[in-house]
Structure 1
Amino acid sequence: MAWPFFALAKKAWMQPLTYKKGDISIEIGPGPKGVATIYDKEILLYIASLMVSKVEAGKAIGQEFSFSANDLFSVTGVNKSARSYTRLSEALERLQGTQIKTNIEAGGEGEEGFFSWLQEAKLQYSKGEGGVKRLKAVKIRLCDWLYRAIMVDRQVLEYASTYFQLGPVERRLYEVARSLCVDGQTTIPLEDLRLQMGYQGSSRQFKFALTKTIKEDPIPGFRFEIEDQGLGTVTAAGRTVREYLVKIIPESTVKRLSS
């Protein structure tokens, strides 16, 4: 949740994404279908929920998983239309094609060079009458880095069930709030929040979007306040920019994503 690994877009995002702050460095490169989006991440969240369920049941867990598209759609609230199956195929291609390079360690180990979220992704079909294809199962293999992050670090936070009803910016805002407020409310500079969310627009656009979100209040378990810190420093362009802080206040216990 803490770091911006996914494009905040509904459509294909073809530009590279970067995040560098302090000791953290993240580079995301697009595959043929673009960078994996915050909506594509639903598949990884579903797999994580399967892994947690197996751990709690005392079952052995590898990096390979097989599940039905209908089960995935039921958890994420996606309708079972032909378009949904096409989007699933595109999402798997982006998750496998996206190239990630980061110095963030997982399971006490780092990765040199680039890796993808999925080492393998397949849609297994059967043929019915007239040669019509029917999707039987989705088969994937998680990358080593993500597998270690879930199985070794065991720092996967719980998601509210209403997360899947949020838009891309609201989803990311929820994730950052959830990761920052483990020990209670916190305050973060507006620009730092924009960078940590991976918001690609300007600071002005982000403040407008955040103000609108605060007014609508759609984020489960949290409320937000923007505090005006008065006039800031003069920029190289000769403009004086106001400084803002964002207070993130937890309101309730977040329910766990059920698989």
Structure 2
Amino acid sequence: MTRTPTSPPQKDTAPARPAARPQRDLFYLDSPLTSEIRGERSLMAFPFFALSKTAWMKPLTYQHANVAIEVRPSAKGVATIYDKEIVLYIASLMAGKIERSEEVGQDFIFTAHDLFSVTGANHSARSYQRLSEALERLQGTQIKTNIEAGGEGEEGFFSWLSEARLHYSKTRSGERRLKAVKVRLCDWLHRAILRDKQVLAYAAAYFQLGPVERRIYEVACATAEEGRLEIDLATFRLQVGYQNPLANFRAAMKAIAQADAIPDYQVALVEDAEAEEPAEGRGRGRRAPSAKVIITARPKALSEPSGEDANHLEA
């Protein structure tokens, strides 16, 4: 009996589908941050951000010695000291990459969850809304300065972020879930961190400070030589970026010195009753006594490792 040969079973020639990856892996995340928060020295020393929790719609200017800064608001206002938290987070991610000898570009991708965990923000819907508004201000604020970065100067204005995007996914119910934040850091700050390597560590308690206290801490870290800074009150007001009258700043400094809550530093306001300083907007009325601010580094605890306050990146 002859058997008719049968054809071999046909194989499925359709291309195989790649194995599904978790949504988190769709982005090559630069977060979470595994090192401490750090910032670039010039951004600590000088007033680039508004000391406000609400929208600040007026331009900011700083002109002292040989440093000039002009900051113009967007339709949403000037980037604030709280928006600066995002810049610090990006700078810290970048510093970590440099230390690990990784390729360092200007694009960074991170999750809001990781950012909030570092800065101490809650993970509420309002925090995500604030994040969106902060990114818009960082991208829209225009900055012009004669401070050189990476051995190069710039003419004209730049923004902290040349690109800022929030990437969402949707659940079956149609709810949006934020997956990642993608930003592109401006050339000026990228050069400063990459080439100048003037990067300083921040105390973890920085994020619990108010706006003025944050600036006092930053100025102290960036400018206190051998752990001490002595400066007249009027000049210090300019460097902090305090926009209200000098009399208000004097009252604020008295309260801050009394509270003694600046991390790593002690602040004193010393007034000279014999010397007088101009009273803003008072005409020929009584002038306030001259005053100076003295900031000294707190003695390091015996349990703390020794080392310089400035953490310079290795070349």
Deviation per CA, 1:161-189, whole angstroms, max 9, x where unpaired? 11001111111111111112142212000
Find runs of 4+ consecutive structure 1 residues off by over 2 angstroms: 229-241, 252-256
Question: What SS class does the counterpart of residue 183 from structure 1 fall into?
Answer: coil
Which residue in 1 is equivalent to 2:256?
Answer: 213
**Deviating more after overlay: 238-247 vs 29-38:** 238-247
1:123 matched to 2:170: no
Which residue in 2 is equivalent to 1:142?
Answer: 185
CA contact (8 A) 2:57 2:77 kept: yes
TM-score w.r.t. the length of structure 1 is 0.95
Which residue identity lines up with residue 189 of structure 2 in the other structure? L
Which residue identity lines up with residue 85 of structure 2 in the other structure? E
Select the residue among 245, 250, 259 that pairs with 2:297.
250
Select the residue among 216, 221, 228 that pairs with 1:173.
216
CA contact (8 A) 1:187 1:247 kept: yes
Higher helix share: 1
CA contact (8 A) 1:159 1:255 kept: no
Residue 241 (structure 1) shift: 3.7
Alignment of 1:183-194 (within 5 A): 183-194=226-237
Residue 146 (structure 1) shift: 0.6
**Larger Rg belongs to:** 2
CA contact (8 A) 1:186 1:249 kept: yes
How many Å separate the matches in 1 of 2:186 and 2:236? Answer: 28
Question: What SS class does the counterpart of residue 227 from structure 2 fall into?
Answer: coil
Q: RMSD between aligned alpha carbons?
A: 1.6
Residue 233 (structure 1) shift: 5.1
Number of residue-to-residue matches in the alignment: 256
**Deviating more after overlay: 58-67 vs 241-250:** 241-250
Select the residue among 267, 273, 284 that pairs with 1:238.
284
Question: What SS class does the counterpart of residue 130 from structure 1 fall into?
Answer: coil
How many Å separate the matches in 2 of 1:234 and 1:191? Answer: 9
Which residue in 1 is equivalent to 2:66?
Answer: 23
Deviation per CA, 1:132-185, whole angstroms, max 9, x where unpaired? 111010000000001011111111211001100111111111111111214221
Which residue in 2 is equivalent to 1:52?
Answer: 95
1:80 matched to 2:123: yes
Instruction: Extract unaligned runs of 5+ from structure 2.
Output: 1-43, 301-308
Question: What SS class does the counterpart of residue 36 from structure 1 fall into?
Answer: coil
CA contact (8 A) 2:200 2:310 kept: no
CA contact (8 A) 2:56 2:77 kept: yes
Distance 1:209 1:44, change over 3 A: same
CA contact (8 A) 2:199 2:310 kept: no
TM-score w.r.t. the length of structure 2 is 0.78
How many Å separate the matches in 2 of 1:125 and 1:221? Answer: 40
How many Å separate the matches in 2 of 1:153 and 1:207? Answer: 35
CA contact (8 A) 1:26 1:103 kept: yes
Residue 229 (structure 1) shift: 2.2
Which residue identity lines up with residue 52 of structure 1 in the other structure? A
Seq. identity, %: 57
Which residue in 2 is equivalent to 1:196?
Answer: 239
How many Å separate the matches in 1 of 2:259 and 2:50? Answer: 23
Instruction: Extract unaligned runs of 5+ from structure 1.
Output: none
1:67 matched to 2:110: yes
